[in-house]
Amino acid sequence: MSSINSTKPVGIEVSLAIAEAVKLAEVEVVAAYPITPQTHIVEHLSDLVANGELNAEYVPVESEHSALSACIGSSAAGARTFTSTSSQGLMLMAEIVFIAPMLRMPIVMAVANRAISGPLNIWNDHSDVMSIRDCGWIQIFAETGQEATDLSIIAFRIAEDKNVMMPLILNLDGFTLSHFIEPIIFPEADKVKKFLPPYETSHKLDLNNPLSFGLLGGPEVYTEARRDTDLALLNSRSHVQRIFDEFAGAFGRQYRLVETYKTEGAETIIVTIGSISETAMSAVDEMRAVGEKVGLIHIRLWRPFPVVEFRAAVAGAKNLAVVDRHISMGFPEGPVGTEVRALMYHEKERPRISNYVLGLGGRDVTRNHFKYIVEQVKSLGADKRQGGYEMVGVLE
Amino acid sequence: MNKKVDIVMEAAFKISDLPLGFTAKPGTTRKFKTGDWRSARPVLDRAKCVYCGFCYIYCPDGVYRDMGAEKYYQVDLDYCKGCGICAHECPKKCIQMIIEEV
């Protein structure tokens, strides 16, 4: 398939659209392991490079572990670097994932979120990325093909920003986004050039100014080094929104750290991450139509967590119904539920927080699931502190 | 910080002094002696030494130095980790590993 050159909506598989966006970003190195659970993202990038449409180095490595290792090397050489993975691939990559933030390598990685084994399953949920939650990368979720395309370009701008210099994971739901065909408007190449200038840095391997990367950090400095990375990640929050705003100025599509939908006057707010937010919006529309005071918040920036924006967005709600697509084994709640509860615990006006785990391993999430959740919240007792926890639809 | 309780402050660097990406200029071991966790040291009996250079060649840390006219190789104890490979490989068995006293 040849490269896209159109400003009108094009029907295209989202994986291919991401590859096209990465091409528009004029990536210099792509290192990837091309075997399942991979997506068409790197397959299409490989086509683009082989056809001479993208002037980049494509490094087909022998494992996901090597893929990210090669990316760190390439980023340390000062090249704009991209990779993509999913599910078990991310698990194998995990060892290297945790190293890139400390090295401050602005690699962009698309993760098509899929289940992890076992049992063997590569359908959509958030088990993969939630397992590396604390890795130190900026983590953003796309909900539609358009968002995944735009954010693929924005991702480089954020990661490489002189005030940020952090690797970035762009999450998109496996299959429900990665393998679906959607109408997508591609940002114009000349405008992308302006929005995203070539990557230039002095933080690289340079014969004239030699540096050692990947040092030992003993007990006398490890704590400081980890906190340094943590501070860099926390500090990136405001820059993410600034760059979202700049993108909106140039291309007309506005993104926010926390997206809200019909939250005004909402007594119950559903909290989601990822593509099910689209389904949830339809469910909210239908519930609003019959008088339910319900709204929706979708968390776009998962790390660093937009604490201030989140608290502001849920202010006034009586109930939060937090949806998780990952099971935190051995704890009576999913990770998003736990974090939301922790964030709200000290608030004066604290909503009742319930947590619902659903959509694991590719199980469908429909509008009715959200209506069901709202019904459960409404049927809770009078005690404001007693929220519910349920794995929705599990047969016991 | 609550000062009523003393905690051991082991930190050797401030966060604000750390370079971007935790990098370093090359040659840091000139400043940091890396042999201080050695549990045994090689001691050479120069009377038996035939100046063959096996210790120099086999040393994985490259801390043996050719003493030239004096016809032996001297270990640099600032960096020797005490692995004992030199003693094991010495054809004349003239290197002994002596336990380090604390």
Q: State the Cα–Cα distance between residues A55 and A41, nearest whole angstrom.
A: 17
Q: Quick one: pLDDT at residue A4?
A: 59
Contact status, residue A326 vs residue A130, Cβ threshold 8 Å: yes
Residue B70 lies in a domain: yes
Q: How many Å lie between the alpha carbon of A234 and the closest alpha carbon of chain B?
A: 15
Q: Any CB–CB contact under 8 A between B13 and chain A?
A: yes
Q: Are strands A294-299 and B40-44 parallel, antiparallel or unpaired?
A: unpaired
Question: Which domains does chain A show, CATH number per domain?
Answer: 10-251 (3.40.50.970), 259-391 (3.40.50.920)
Residue B4 lies in a domain: no
Residue B80 lies in a domain: yes
Nearest by CB to residue A224, choosing from B15, B26, B28, is B15
Please spell the DSSP secondary structure of A215-267, one letter per residue. Answer: ----TTTHHHHHHHHHHHHHHHHHHHHHHHHHHHHHHS----SEEEES-TT-S
Residue B8 lies in a domain: no
CB spacing of A213 vs B21 below 8 angstroms: yes
Q: In A, what residues contact B, Cβ < 8 A?
A: 102-105, 165, 203, 210-213, 215, 217, 219-221, 223-225, 227-228, 231
Q: Quick one: pLDDT at residue B1?
A: 57
Residue B50 lies in a domain: yes
Q: CA-based angle B92:B93:B97, to the nearest 5?
A: 150
- A248-281 as b/e, with b when 16 or more CB fall inside 10 Å? eeebeeebbbbbbbbbeebbbbbbbbbbbbbbbb
Total length of chain A = 396
Contact status, residue A347 vs residue A316, Cβ threshold 8 Å: no
Contact status, residue A256 vs residue A300, Cβ threshold 8 Å: yes
Q: Quick one: pLDDT at residue A23?
A: 98
Two tokens, residue A202: 């002095």
Q: Quick one: pLDDT at residue B26?
A: 87
Q: Taking CB atoms and an 8 Å cutoff, what residues of chain B touch A102?
A: 21-22
Residue B23 lies in a domain: no
Q: Quick one: pLDDT at residue A383?
A: 86
List, run by run, the mean pLDDT of 10-residue segments along chain A (396 residues): 67 98 98 91 97 97 97 98 97 97 98 96 97 98 98 98 98 97 96 98 95 92 97 98 98 97 97 97 98 98 98 96 97 96 94 97 97 96 88 94
Q: Quick one: pLDDT at residue A6?
A: 62
The overall longest dimension of chain B from CA atoms, in Å, is 63
ipTM score of complex: 0.87
Q: Total structural domains in chain B?
A: 1
Phi-psi region at B71: left, alpha or beta (left = phi > 0; alpha = psi -120 to 50): left
Give the number of A-B residue pairs with CB atoms closer than 8 Å: 52
B69 lies in which domain range?
Answer: 34-99
Q: What is the CATH number of the domain that holds B43?
A: 3.30.70.20
Q: Quick one: pLDDT at residue A18?
A: 98
Residue B2 lies in a domain: no
Chain A residue with Cα closest to B15:
A224
Contact status, residue A114 vs residue A86, Cβ threshold 8 Å: yes
Q: Quick one: pLDDT at residue B101?
A: 87
Residue B3 lies in a domain: no
Chain A residue with Cα closest to B11:
A220
Q: State the Cα–Cα distance between residues A37 and A90, nearest whole angstrom.
A: 9
Q: Taking CB atoms and an 8 Å cutoff, what residues of chain B touch A203?
A: 20-21, 23
